[in-house]
Chain A
């Protein structure tokens, strides 16, 4: 069958085969960069979904990526209009954006539609309906569209339309008709036709309703007629790239369904990291060879669409056609001209972008995995894809088009069939006019008198403000509202501050250094509210300690540092000397339990083992019921039992090496004292923590623990490659406490007072637990101070949980702080919880500067905060450049991944979490078989506001320009407007906004901020995003207790 799918003999292809092959390889590699760059889901790292387009300006990139991926670039128009109605976008934002966008073109007069500015504003404010022609036909014929005005037409315009129509008809037509004059133009005939539908005899007593209907019918006919006459053609639809596209539009049958079904299963078997019991045969031969081996063997049942595949495979094997040569063959058979090759290959790879992307990641970027893919796998994948595509296309065209001709011209033949049915778009345009005429109050008479040329101009004008442009305008207005609020808040809050004067002379009670993460904003704010004498700082959560870390109970080392850094140092956690025996014993038990549970896991899926396990399976009902109905209690019980096998609590870090070179071998693990000194110095100088050291300085890493969550790693610390940052904080504290390090620091002009003690800790952002490391080493003199600090932190945990709970609909708004803490603890242990926490969903801005500039400002967990003291920096901003080199790419990556997953959760995100199905231990599919889903899930982004992240950096425009000039990554993100950038003057409250490549002074819109007594007074009773507020007085614990009616526990 399907003779066209297999060549009788392969034709030789290019003149110089090597060149052609190289060229092809180059094209494939180029296309590979457009694939999703998400690696195995266990090491989820946020990054810009459109990273491949960063060379372009943001809006250009959106336009282009829309064509490449077919995904939404913005939220829907309807959504933006809802935001407009709710006041999230204000009309003044739209006006400001339009004015800036149109510049001097704003006031051009567009026919009778007013100025361009007014036309566009009307098109934004009114929801103009458009639909395929059959639907519009239905709307016109069956709905009230030709009987009553749109509901958003204001009364004065209704009146104008009705009265104007009545006048015109009575004057020009009734009169003409009664006088018996011949009106022979077709337009007049049409108008007569419309009038004939009404009872013309009683025209003088027609009601307003009847005139309304007449007016609407006339408007519609005239619009329709005008558009037909206008010399305006819609751009032709893009030519189909792949055969499948042409066939889909010609027959409605998707050939990819056939090929994808096989390819999905095959790719997942090839990439499997050890879930299936039986590995793919001949996997070592590579994707292509193994496919040929499995599908070339005799026997089996071949589905209709693959008839002939065995013969083709036998030929490929006999003639030893390589994967690349097979691609060339396929391209030729499919009739892909050289200039089409790039687009064709890209589209073919993007057809299963998740799997193709994972193959590319596994071959280029996953040498640590159990089974990485060999180099060249993507090429082999493409070879198999094109082979299957040939068969699928041949089958579909034969079955549904009765077309058995050669595949090379199939696209043209299918497109020709489809072309007869290509709509012209004129009905849609006419309907737009019809609606605009109503909302702008344009009379039928005015349309009637419009010359043909003007019709054409109007059509062009409306076309120019396409859906993309409208949504872009909305989006800019949406961003503008938040940006102005933020910049206003900063301007107002910093007004009257005297930041340059040396801060208070009293020492802070303690200092807490957290990650810059937006989730720590509320935690820090609550700490400061509870203990106004404490200080908090923010620094990227690996605290400068880039390492491969292996815990006492971990099987492998994992990198704990930003992905851009490749760590050279290894650190291990060891039990303390006296507990080594216990450790060994427990490790043995642990191994027993682990092996047993692994065996059970495997056996329960097999035949006889499964039968045995199932016979005693009723026992499973106990954990089943307990874990689902009482997750928190069940977790506590499990923890109790887990103690038998958990490594002993008392451990130490192997942090210092004895050999000169760092490495994973014994003696090489750890740092030298000099390196430790470098790390401590850099982190302290970057955060500006060079003087006024408190007696207790706590470094706090963070992470998140949750169940039933394949994306668990995405919730962890982004600065630790999706790991948990506790060990980094612990290692840093140990380094900074080291007397030798301190001595060397003193030599470098950085004095740490001897009474200052560092503690490492770990904040679990999901259950708001905080654990501390190495308390055994706490000096006795600090005991009391630590106890007090711990009480403060515990209160902050409760309040933080309370503030987070306002976002969770399943928590009552009236919940008490203690109950809130229990609630979030339950969330993290709950198997049925699809939203253990909201991760970065609320992030929207980044502040880099001194905390005292925005201390006391309620920022609603929406701001990343990195500490940086401009007064300690040099004129070029050397420290700032260092800080921003990490902060800008990381925060931009997070923000942009959220942006794209939010605007198109099906296309860029991974859809709803509910049907997710873990596959190959690498990623998730939707349901039984689908493309590998990358990006973030609908549950993660549901409360996100997709905006480009707004950086507010405490520096001068000149310094910032200099940094951009020196750092190409920062320059690309800022100059191409993938992020918004503003500077806050270190000396006063002047703000400069970076737009169109230059800094402009920002003028505040308002000069007042709401004031509130405490955070809880501001956020209480509210689930949505909140604006900024100044927290006036530090709230005491009693105040919160009073407001909730219960004393905190």
Chain B
């Protein structure tokens, strides 16, 4: 077996494991024969361990053969010759994707092991693991994507599973509402992503990263675009990345996402999916090189988000929100690093941060225990000494800063009351106008115009 074949087999194995897992878990519950807890957790273990071993093997082989770029294609799925369009599923293994996919497998594996005990006897056990498998598949596909369409497919899987897991406890209203909010923000990000994809296709005639970014394995590579084209596509991708990574002004969804069971909060919003935006920028980093303005935009957005998130993290009184904003701070700094062209540092930062935050979030319910231990070790109350902040900054300014941080930068209010509300109002107005108009044409009185809510719950007219 030649190395190429071996790479092909292993590469397909990495993708096949989560795909098979999702298929088995999903189909078994779809056909009404859900697996039992033990079986599900065994299958998950098996899939994650196999996938992890395969990806580690690829890493080892790459190091041995000193190859830096391996492509595994699944062929063209759609070719429109006249339009010069082809739709390809292709996976690449390079210095960016291999560490990221290993990280995904490791953290998902640990979280899966955690969840299999934590969710024991929970009615949604099966649902959780189906969504978990979907998430894992999304992460793997996104990490390994060799074309922008492939990346988009993985991106969507991650988004869908995340939103559904936020609303995991769907018998209560708040998780569902917050899940919907996450989903809405994701839609905005996805729309930007989709436009960027189309633009790329239009500009380069294909979504292939290798073709797009020029030859050379990551992180070398030259964008085959002009500076202005790169700026346009890059800004769209930046919006997509900001939505996914909860940067300003989308930050509101991140603390709200802490509605699901602790393990899913840990893996998704603390560790993996929140870093996807940064990953996207890393993947298209040649674009950044092509446009200085784009780099500046990334740095600026990262800086603003980092400062905001660091402030917000300081006023959170509940452990999960505090960790959410702490995560956001680091993700923003990673954006700054990417903007500055420090790609390896950004990658190391992502990996370290994801591991640390997962551990912290999984331990979150132990907080009181830990505080108690720390108090005992110190031999008294934990020091609440006045910080630099309290000593130096004047009171009115501190109060303002507190309010800004406490209201989470007002971003939720701004988006909801000053962007979404006028939008909805406009369309409600249009709806009303249309009804009037159709009523006029139909010759009905205008008072019938609003049958949105049927009157009466009294149906004593069952005869």
Contact = CB atoms under 8 A, between A and B. Distances in A.
Contacts of B333: 607, 610-611
B321 interface: yes
Contacts of B379: 555, 587, 590-591, 594
B389 interface: yes
Contact of A610 (B329, B348, B373, B455): B329
| Main DSSP-derived SS at the B contact region | helix
A832 B112 CA distance: 10
A941 to B, nearest CB: 12
Interface in A599-647: 601, 604-607, 610-611, 613-621, 623-625, 628-629, 645
A423 interface: yes
A928 B381 contact: no
A228 interface: yes
Interface string B348-376: 11011111111110111111111111111
A594 B367 contact: no
Nearest to A220: B462
A137 B318 contact: no
A1028 B362 CA distance: 42
B326 A605 contact: yes
Given A555-B376, A832-B113, A604 B356 contact: yes
Contacts of B356: 604, 613-614, 617, 620
Contact of B459 (A42, A275, A427): A427
Contacts of B372: 42
B380 interface: yes
B416 A303 contact: yes
Nearest to B336: A611
Contact of B319 (A275, A427, A830): A275
A217 B462 CA distance: 12
A928 B410 contact: no
Contacts of B402: 278, 280-281, 294
Contacts of A595: 377-378, 383
Given A610-B330, A618-B351, A281 B457 contact: no
Nearest to A827: B117
Interface stretch (A27-35, A176-184, A727-735, A910-918): A910-918
Interface string A823-846: 000000011111100000000000
Interface in A441-467: none
Given A617-B355, A618-B352, A810-B120, A606 B313 contact: yes
A133 B457 contact: yes
B367 A809 contact: no
Contact of B363 (A224, A427, A708, A833): A708
B118 A914 contact: yes
B53 to A, nearest CB: 15
A134 B399 contact: no
B378 to A, nearest CB: 4
A915 B260 contact: yes
A607 B355 contact: no
Contacts of B69: none
A115 B95 CA distance: 83
A929 B321 CA distance: 9
Interface stretch (B150-158, B251-259, B293-301, B436-444): B251-259
Contacts of A929: 174, 318, 321
Contact of A293 (B117, B169, B259, B399): B399
B374 A928 contact: no
Interface string A207-228: 0000000000000010010001
* Candidate in A134, A293, A929 with the most chain B CB atoms within 10 angstroms: A929
A616 B384 contact: no
A132 B122 contact: no
Nearest to A302: B413
B368 A623 contact: no
A614 B399 contact: no
Contact of B365 (A276, A598, A916, A927): A916
A833 B115 CA distance: 9
B376 A919 contact: no
Contacts of B401: 278
B378 A614 contact: no
Interface in A275-291: 275-278, 280-282
A781 to B, nearest CB: 38
A606 B313 CA distance: 7
B403 interface: yes
Given A281-B398, A423-B457, A912-B122, A831 B114 contact: yes
Interface in A490-549: none
B224 interface: no
Interface in A921-947: 921, 925-930, 939, 942
A942 B389 contact: no
A641 B174 CA distance: 43
A426 interface: yes
A420 interface: yes
Interface in A288-308: 293-295, 297, 299-304
Interface stretch (A266-274, A338-346, A770-778): A266-274
Interface in B285-318: 306-307, 310, 313-318
Given A598-B378, A601-B374, A708-B366, 9 more contacts: A278-B405, A423-B457, A597-B377, A605-B313, A605-B322, A610-B353, A624-B110, A708-B365, A927-B178
14 contacts: A268-B317, A277-B387, A295-B403, A422-B458, A556-B380, A616-B352, A620-B352, A831-B363, A832-B114, A832-B118, A834-B118, A914-B122, A915-B168, A915-B169
Nearest first, the 4 A-B pairs at minimum CB distance are: A594-B377, A617-B352, A617-B356, A614-B353
Interface of B: 106, 110, 113-122, 168-169, 172, 174-175, 178, 255-263, 306-307, 310, 313-323, 325-326, 329-330, 333, 345, 348-349, 351-360, 362-384, 387, 389, 395-396, 398-407, 410, 413-414, 416-418, 421, 455-460, 462-463
